[in-house]
Structure 1
């Protein structure tokens, strides 16, 4: 077993202390400040003056019940935790030791869990720490971890945005911008399951084939896009307007099953669709026939049952002369 080495007396001037311990505090036997390390002086700011008493500079968090530096050393076994009363509110931890016969006390402090905030608030650099201090390395690791976390969060947001965009695209008719058949089926099934009162309009364009035959498919696409815009303007955000086939559309009117309200909505749509549409100097004319059903007319509304009933009402409208809306029983 190695024998204890003899003790040696070492003299350290303030410049050496500052270089090796930039967070030191040297106190006299009465607990008054003799010198401050340059980094600690930045922490304490204007309070870092010669002669300031330890208890006026710091609130002792550990050991409990200690106030003066003497009590800290007596109770804490030379280890302690402090918070500055002035300057930057950072948690500090450290070691203390009495020096020689004059009773001076040397405290060597470091930042605890508040390292990152202290470095940010004081704009500290590697030069503000001892060369052997790993504080900056830990800070770099924390910053790198934060950067990776930010990048991962950004990646997750981009992936979530891409997923939502893909889902939106999968539910949208590209020509009209309306919902597609899949989206309409999902909305209809959800509303039937909720037993919510709503109206269902099934619309078909009259004379649309004639537009395609005489003016061409580009004109037909223009008519469909125009009808899509009309439907978006006539329904609310909580409603669902969808193109479910070539020139077939459905409109689900949420929370409205009053016959007069549904008839009024259908009549407005028919009036708008019947207006002439100008395409490349030529006029396209179509009209709309609409079949209307109400979920409240069914004891247990079912999506397929409602669509079939709306389809029958649509053909009744066509057989009645087209360009009109039919709500059976009204």
Structure 2
């Protein structure tokens, strides 16, 4: 005849989630999986109905009632937190020596894995729970792969959008980005100043030292413009040597003029290209969004452009603000040009 030790050893392999109780309903042994669930609570010798609350059948009130449920599905709930639910079936031991309760019939798999770190080794080899664990693991792996893919796609999207709004040579915003900024500010009713900056003597750099030197000068110009402006300002390269600066909320003409003069002064410093010393300057023109009844990007750019060319006509390396009189001056310049 099989000894009690042999019985429990066999049960540990075939039904890792089991409880053996004596005739009085006291726990005399339990499977290794329940060690993880019960921890160090020392359930041996305790009444099984104090460890496991029997939810169904509701007719069971005492150990004697429990012994009469052989073959019926039993619904338990762990008495202590986290109150894990389990399903089992009871088989009486010979000669009224107690009963064997197999609890492998429906522990809440997701809760068990989360709360007790259970693995496939904690269930009977024939338990369908193992298949469920494989499905849970496969789902988790698929969800993680999907999350990583979404992150890569999102990163690629951000990179593509950034590239679409960036001037590749200087790293500044491009014309498309500037248009987007202007439309956003205007639609949001924000006040801003728009400054058009054009480099003086840049053509001579290209003609004298080559386009590689010109590219190096443009990159240095971009760096100086970023250094002279705030993080909240927009600095865009919209043409070969033409730049637009947008100052949100900066409407003080004195501050804007000081900024423009400081920028021009910085740009007049020699820019080294190898052993060659490249010299340029800049002219600038500014208009304020508040000076227009209904500001439109094209209107503001036109006004800043008029102020810019007024600076150039005045001798270059200067900054001017737009005034309505510049419209008449430009008309006169164009008429003189045609007549000549």
8 Å contact kept, 2:264–2:282: yes
Aligned to 2:85: 92
Is 1:31 aligned to 2:3, yes or no? no
Is 1:327 aligned to 2:314, yes or no? no
Q: What is the alpha-carbon distance in structure 1 between the residues aligned to residue 99 and residue 229 of structure 2? A: 80
Is 1:244 aligned to 2:238, yes or no? yes
How many angstroms does 1:113 deviate by? 6.4
TM-score by length of 1: 0.85
Alignment partner of 1:54 out of 48, 59, 65: 48
How many angstroms does 1:305 deviate by? 0.4
The CA deviation string for residues 54-101 of structure 1, in whole angstroms up to 9 with x for no partner, is: 2432345666798866677899x6421312527xx4623112436277
Aligned to 1:8: none
Matches within 5 A, 1:292-311: 292-311=286-305
Closer/same/farther in 2, CA of residues 254 and 195 from structure 1, 3 Å limit: same
8 Å contact kept, 2:75–2:88: yes
Q: What is the alpha-carbon distance in structure 2 between the residues aligned to residue 300 and residue 113 of structure 1? A: 70
Alignment partner of 2:280 out of 286, 302, 306: 286
Q: What is the alpha-carbon distance in structure 2 between the residues aligned to residue 106 and residue 229 of structure 1? A: 80
Is 1:82 aligned to 2:77, yes or no? yes
Closer/same/farther in 2, CA of residues 190 and 128 from structure 1, 3 Å limit: closer
Matches within 5 A, 1:10-159: 13-60=7-54, 78-85=73-80, 89=82, 91-97=84-90, 99=92, 102=96, 104-110=98-104, 114-116=108-110, 118-119=112-113, 124-159=118-153
Aligned to 2:219: 225
Pairs aligned (count): 317
Q: What is the alpha-carbon distance in structure 1 between the residues aligned to residue 322 and residue 14 of structure 2? A: 93
Closer/same/farther in 2, CA of residues 36 and 305 from structure 1, 3 Å limit: same
Q: What is the alpha-carbon distance in structure 1 between the residues aligned to residue 190 and residue 64 of structure 2? A: 76
Closer/same/farther in 2, CA of residues 113 and 279 from structure 1, 3 Å limit: farther
The CA deviation string for residues 241-261 of structure 1, in whole angstroms up to 9 with x for no partner, is: 000001000000111112112
How many angstroms does 1:329 deviate by? 4.5
The CA deviation string for residues 209-263 of structure 1, in whole angstroms up to 9 with x for no partner, is: 1111122212111111111111111222221100000100000011111211211
Q: What is the alpha-carbon distance in structure 2 between the residues aligned to residue 63 and residue 264 of structure 1? A: 87
8 Å contact kept, 2:86–2:107: no
8 Å contact kept, 1:90–1:114: no
Matches within 5 A, 1:157-306: 157-306=151-300
Gaps of 5+ in 1: 1-10
Gaps of 5+ in 2: 325-340
8 Å contact kept, 1:212–1:220: yes
